[in-house]
């Protein structure tokens, strides 16, 4: 071997496995594997993206100023404290490189979002997965795992793929228990779907100090995963650091236009939230009625627990044969589970009926 060799930590990273969108032999595919919004693209956002087609020779605004202003208006936040990214994934990467690196530790919960592990390892940090309690982040266990080497703590709230939520009082207790020099990253990709009381997506803690960041995305409820837009609301020092290292033109022209339009789409979030609360509950009840355990979820997905890895794999195969794609959970150390996105009413009914069929089949004996 004489060619260039990657840094050793790069080869420690298992590539992210995205939700699949095809299954052989099925002519109609129902994709419920990536937590994309149930209602597709907001019509105004699609029109806005199309409208910039004749401007594509122009660089976008590198500071995403109009988008940050629109986010600020919508969420009541200071645009100067917002940084947009190529999805929140880009911001996760930069935070790991800015605050982590060789000799440092990054904490995440055992079944937290895998991007934290990928980005943290790439930065050269040791990524420590802290045990959970009932598939929910355990504040005491996280605090007990802190050492002088700890630089970042990632918490997805609600968490993907478990759907679990920490109440605001627990998040505040986490922040209070962490050293001031540790950055707490609250990833609220699913904030819009939460219907439990006592929740704050993170802005309150960002405002309360200089060591907490909130991440949000346009990929879920706003239906723009294909354009890659996310944002951070952060203390001034973190904003300054992110702006030094992020891609200079990281949010492309169509993405900025579509995201601004999505924020202006009347009733989009309200309708999506109402649909999700209703059908998340109905789908969960239907699966439980046929003997499948479903973990409580505050996201736009549920974690169906088949008790054994063999039964979960058989259920996955059964669904695929019928053109339905969900997410296998081996990469999350939950091989006995499948994560199922809450789709349209029709998708949910089809899922319930198909899994009912599965539970009466030989695969359910595994």
Is residue 230 at the binding interface for ligand PLP, with CB under 6 A as the rule?
A: yes
Contact status: 192 vs ligand PLP (CB under 6 A): no
88 binds ligand PLP per the rule CB under 6 A: yes
**Could you tell me if 75 and 222 are in contact, meaning their C-beta atoms sit under 8 angstroms apart?**
no
Q: Which of 93, 219, 250, 276 binds ligand PLP (CB under 6 A)?
A: 219
What's the min distance (Å) between Cβ of 29 and ligand PLP? Answer: 20
Q: Is 123 in the site for ligand PLP (CB under 6 A)?
A: no
Residue 136 binding ligand PLP, by CB under 6 A: no
- Closer to ligand PLP at the Cβ: 87 or 363? 87
Q: Using CB under 6 A, which of the segments 11-19, 218-226, 263-271, 308-316 binds ligand PLP?
A: 218-226
Residue 224 or 324: which CB sits closer to ligand PLP? 224
Question: Which of 33, 217, 256, 341 forms a contact with ligand PLP (CB under 6 A)?
Answer: 217
Rounded alpha-carbon distances, angstroms, from residue 32 to 99, 264, 341: 35, 26, 5
160 belongs to the binding site for ligand PLP (CB under 6 A): yes
Query: Closest separation between CB of residue 219 and ligand PLP, Å?
Result: 3
What secondary structure, in 3-state letters, does the chain show? Answer: CCCCCCCCCHHHCCCCCCCCCCCCCCCCCEECCCCCCCCCCCHHHHHHHHHCHHHCCCCCCCCCHHHHHHHHHHHCCCHHHEEEECHHHHHHHHHHHHHCCCCCEEEEECCCCHHHHHHHHHHCCEEEEECCECCECCHHHHHHHCCCCEEEEEEECCCCCCCCCCCHHHHHHHHHHCCCCCEEEEECCCHHHCCCCCCCCCHHHHHHCCCEEEEEECCCCCCCCCCCCEEEECCHHHHHHHHHHCCCCCCCHHHHHHHHHHHCCCCHHHHHHHHHHHHHHHHHHHHHHCCCEEECCCCCEEEEECCCHHHHHHHHHHHHHCCEECEECHHHCCCCEEEEECCCHHHHHHHHHHHHHHHCCHHHHC
How far apart are the two ends of the chain, measured CA to CA in Å?
45
Q: Closest approach of Cβ 65 to ligand PLP, in Å?
A: 20
Nearest one of 217, 236, 207, 237 to 84, comparing CA atoms: 217
The residue at minimum Cβ distance from ligand PLP is 87
List the x/- string, 12-51, binding to ligand PLP by CB under 6 A. -----------------------x----------------
- The residues near 227 (Cβ < 8 Å, ≥ 6 apart) are 49, 218, 252, 254, 255, 258, 259
Examine residue 194 and tell whether it contacts ligand PLP (CB under 6 A): no
Tell me how far apart the alpha carbons of residues 227 and 51 are, in angstroms, rounded to a whole number.
Answer: 15
Specify the residue, 113 or 318, whose C-beta has the smaller distance to ligand PLP.
Answer: 113
In the complex, what is the shortest distance from the CB of residue 231 to ligand PLP, in angstroms, rounded to a whole number?
9
Is 113 one of the binding residues for ligand PLP (CB under 6 A)? Answer: yes
Q: Is 225 in the site for ligand PLP (CB under 6 A)?
A: yes
Nearer to ligand PLP by Cβ, of 85 and 363: the residue is 85
Tell me how far, at minimum, the Cβ of 366 lies from ligand PLP, in Å: 29
| Nearer to ligand PLP among residue 88 and residue 150 (C-beta) | 88
Which CB sits closer to ligand PLP, 220 or 275? 220
Our finding on whether 193 is near ligand PLP (CB under 6 A) is: no
Among the listed residues 36, 48, 64, 89, the single contact to ligand PLP using CB under 6 A:
89
- Does 363 bind ligand PLP (CB under 6 A)? Our answer is no
In the complex, which residues of this chain contact ligand PLP (CB under 6 A)?
Answer: 35, 87-89, 113, 156, 160, 187, 189, 217, 219-220, 225, 230
């Amino acid at each position: 071997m004489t060619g260039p060799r990657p840094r050793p930590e790069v080869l420690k990273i298992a590539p992210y496995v995205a939700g699949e969108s095809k299954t052989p032999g099925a002519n109609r595919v129902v994709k419920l594997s990536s937590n994309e919004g149930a209602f597709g693209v907001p019509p105004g956002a699609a029109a806005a993206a199309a409208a910039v087609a004749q401007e594509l020779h122009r660089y976008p605004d590198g500071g995403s100023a109009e988008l940050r202003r629109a986010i600020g208006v919508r969420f009541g936040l200071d645009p100067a404290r917002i940084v947009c990214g190529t999805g929140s994934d880009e911001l996760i990467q930069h935070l790991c490189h800015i605050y982590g690196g060789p000799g440092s530790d990054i904490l995440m919960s055992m079944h937290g979002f895998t991007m934290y592990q990928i980005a943290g390892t790439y930065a050269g940090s040791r990524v420590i997965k802290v045990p959970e309690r009932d598939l929910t982040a355990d504040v005491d266990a996280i605090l007990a795992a802190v050492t002088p080497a700890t630089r970042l703590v990632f918490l997805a709230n609600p968490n993907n793929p478990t759907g679990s939520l920490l109440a605001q009082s627990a998040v505040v207790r986490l922040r209070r228990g962490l050293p001031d020099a540790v950055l707490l990253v609250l990833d609220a990709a699913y904030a819009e779907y939460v219907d439990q009381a006592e929740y704050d997506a993170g802005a309150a803690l960002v405002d309360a100090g200089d060591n907490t960041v909130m991440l949000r995305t346009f990929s879920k409820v706003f239906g723009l995963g294909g354009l890659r837009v996310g944002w951070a609301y952060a203390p001034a020092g973190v904003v300054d650091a992110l702006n030094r290292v992020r891609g200079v033109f990281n949010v492309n022209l169509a993405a900025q236009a579509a995201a601004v339009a999505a924020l202006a789409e009347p009733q989009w979030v309200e309708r999506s939230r109402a649909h999700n609360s209703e059908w998340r509950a109905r789908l969960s009840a239907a699966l439980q009625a046929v003997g499948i355990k479903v973990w409580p979820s505050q996201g736009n997905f549920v974690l169906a627990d088949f008790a054994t890895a063999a039964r979960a794999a058989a259920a996955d195969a059964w669904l695929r044969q019928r053109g339905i794609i969900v997410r296998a959970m081996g990469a999350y150390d939950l091989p006995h589970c499948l994560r199922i996105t809450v789709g349209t009413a029709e998708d949910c009914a089809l899922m319930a009926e198909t899994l009912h069929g599965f539970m009466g089949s030989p695969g359910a004996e595994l």
